[in-house]
């Protein structure tokens, strides 16, 4: 499992799209932090801490689903198409394959967040560990979701289209269900990660997206073990 995780982690870093995402993460973090450091009068002291992490937070809330799903949409179905998955499962269990890929993806996004927050800490003078963990919990939701997508959608050409569509629609649905007026949308917010991250008075709620992701992973492992490959 660890070998699979390492391979997935390294492959993500070799992708041009992944490098572009890392540059974007670091660039946004640097720009917002340097701006606030240069012009602290833009925010009062109580808002300054939130201001430093606002750039990366907004970026992930709006585009986190899109980033995760487009970069990893073919995590399983690519190897199913080429039939290489049959060779892999003769050496390790199916559960180890899926969990290894999951760990590799999760580590990649954790490193992206860590680099961004290290840049922020250089300007703010403090490391926002709680916010980092909250955003990582948020990202585990689309990570769990993309595992299911790649498992259920057999063709990589189809999964990229689904991921693009889902990456655009999920933030819109999640934020609209939280801020929108129609009562019919209110129930949807409980199935989305935004509701739990935006409840700032209850920090423990930020663990709910992680718990949801765990349920998705369990469902994906169960389906993968039963699937004919």
Q: Please write the tens of the pLDDT for every residue from 123-140.
A: 777 888 988 999 999 999
Which of 208, 5, 220 lies closest to 106 in space, CA to CA? Answer: 5
Round the CA-based radius of gyration of the chain to a whole number and report it.
19
Residue 121 has pLDDT above 90, yes or no: no
In percent, the amount of the chain with pLDDT more than 70 equals 90
CB within 8 Å of 47: residues ≥ 6 apart: none
Burial of residue 107 (number of CB atoms within 10 Å: 0-12, 13-18, 19+): middle
Q: Specify the pLDDT at position 42.
A: 45
- Averaged pLDDT for residues 200-205: 78
- What is the tens place of the pLDDT at every residue in 146-193? 999 998 888 888 989 999 999 999 999 998 888 876 666 678 889 999
Tell me how far apart the alpha carbons of residues 142 and 185 are, in angstroms, rounded to a whole number: 20
Beta-carbon neighbour count of residue 194 at 10 Å? 21
pLDDT at position 43 over 50: no
Q: Collapse the DSSP code of 6 into the 3-class scheme (helix H, G, I; strand E, B; otherwise coil) and give the result.
A: helix
* Segments making up each domain of the chain, as ranges: 2-226
pLDDT in tens, 51-86: 678 888 888 999 999 999 999 988 888 888 888 888
With beta carbons less than 8 A apart as the criterion, state whether 175 and 194 touch. yes
The answer to whether the CB of 220 falls within 8 A of the CB of 148 is yes
Q: Among residues 219, 212, 207, which one has the least CA distance to residue 192? A: 212
CA dist 194 and 186 (Å) reads 12
What integer best gives the mean pLDDT of the chain? 85
> How many other β-carbons are positioned within 10 Å of the β-carbon of residue 169?
12
- Quick one: average pLDDT of 14-23? 82
Give residue 83's pLDDT: 80
Greater confidence (99 vs 55) lies with 99
- pLDDT tens digit sequence for 30-40: 777 676 666 55
């Amino acid at each position: 499992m660890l070998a699979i995780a390492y391979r997935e982690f390294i492959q993500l870093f070799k992708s041009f799209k992944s490098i572009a995402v890392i540059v974007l993460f670091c660039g946004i973090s640097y720009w917002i932090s340097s701006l606030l450091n240069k012009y602290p009068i833009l925010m009062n002291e109580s808002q300054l801490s939130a201001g430093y992490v606002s750039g990366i937070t907004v970026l992930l809330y709006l585009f986190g689903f899109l980033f995760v799903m487009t970069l990893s949409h073919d995590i399983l179905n690519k190897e199913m198409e080429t039939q290489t998955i049959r060779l892999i499962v003769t050496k390790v269990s199916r559960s180890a394959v899926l969990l290894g890929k999951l760990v590799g993806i999760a580590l990649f996004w954790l490193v992206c967040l860590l680099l961004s927050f290290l840049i922020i800490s250089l300007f703010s003078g403090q490391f926002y560990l709680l916010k980092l963990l909250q955003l990582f919990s948020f990202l585990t939701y689309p990570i769990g979701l993309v595992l299911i997508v790649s498992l259920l959608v057999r063709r990589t050409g189809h999964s990229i289209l689904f991921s693009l569509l889902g990456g655009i629609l999920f933030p819109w649905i999640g934020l609209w269900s939280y801020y929108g007026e129609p009562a019919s949308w209110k129930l949807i917010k409980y199935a989305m990660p935004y509701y739990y991250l935006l409840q700032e008075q209850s920090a423990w709620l930020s663990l709910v997206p992680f718990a949801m992701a765990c349920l998705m992973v369990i469902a994906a492992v169960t389906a993968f073990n039963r699937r004919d490959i």
